[in-house]
Amino acid sequence: MSEILTLSSVFVIGIVASTIGSMAGGGGGLLSIAFLLFIGLPPHIAIATDRFGSIGQASTCLFKFWKAQRIAWKYVALLSVLSLAGSLIGANILLSLDPQILRYAIGVLLVVLLPVLFLKKDIGVQSKQMSSSKKSFGFVLYFLVQIVTGFFGGGTGVIILYILMIFFGMTIIEANATNTIPWFVLAASSLTIFAMNGIIDYKIGTALLAGMAIGGYIGAHVALQKGDAWVKQLFALLVIAIAIKVLFF
């Protein structure tokens, strides 16, 4: 594959992956990382380069959700601190651990959590007040998942949305919007470690970033236009697709 064709393909994949990810809060990374592996990047470089590209998605998503006033600001500061700490731990783990050891655990967890979407009709659609103890437990889970996200990423975004909906009472769009800033913090901090260790392919990463910036804007716009109920249905389909991907492919 020629360099121009490779970069063009990465750009297009970036648009598609980030459109999906920004609409439903995750899952796009599985597509983009898989494609980076397909064109020959080693796993740790593919993950680091995908993280570089995700800065584009996070930037345009943040712009759209901020304008729409769908961010739950009262949680942003603490979630961002937990993301920063988790990313620094997770990024260092990537340098010495094969991230594939987690793929089956994540797949099984997604299958176990899937019925929650259907058994609780109002989850992700209506905002709820949660007890302090439930939110405290949610913060702990959020931190643990962000450690995994720091060195793996694929499939963890949807688990984050589960946590924000179940333990913080957010709608699915609020959860997606609120997590955009902590995700930006996580991506930026983990990129510092990846860059220091020279595992980012900047040429491919720049093409991916450009595509993801476009897709992030498109996906956030569509989600805001369609509403929480529609996004929840898409989210359920995405959870099934991710579970199948990580368990069987």
- Mean pLDDT by groups of 10 residues along the chain of 249 residues: 88 94 78 88 88 92 93 94 84 61 63 69 84 94 82 71 92 93 85 88 96 95 93 84 71
- The whole-angstrom separation of Cα 83 and Cα 108 is 24
pLDDT of residue 21: 85
The tokens describing 41, both together, are 């990047």
The tokens describing 77, both together, are 């500061």
For 73, list phi and psi in degrees, rounded to 5: -60, -30
Tally DSSP H helices, then E strands, for the chain.
10, 0
pLDDT of residue 249: 65
pLDDT of residue 123: 82
pLDDT of residue 108: 67
Where is 76: in which H helix or E strand?
A: helix 73-94
- Contact predicate 242/105, CB 8 Å: no
Cβ burial 15-35 (10 Å sphere, 16+ → b, else e): bbbbbbbbbbbbbbbbbbbbb
For 162, list phi and psi in degrees, rounded to 5: -55, -45
pLDDT of residue 155: 65
Global pTM reads 0.84
User: How many CB atoms lie under 10 A from the CB of residue 57?
Assistant: 34
pLDDT of residue 201: 95
pLDDT of residue 100: 58
- The whole-angstrom separation of Cα 21 and Cα 31 is 10
pLDDT of residue 94: 58
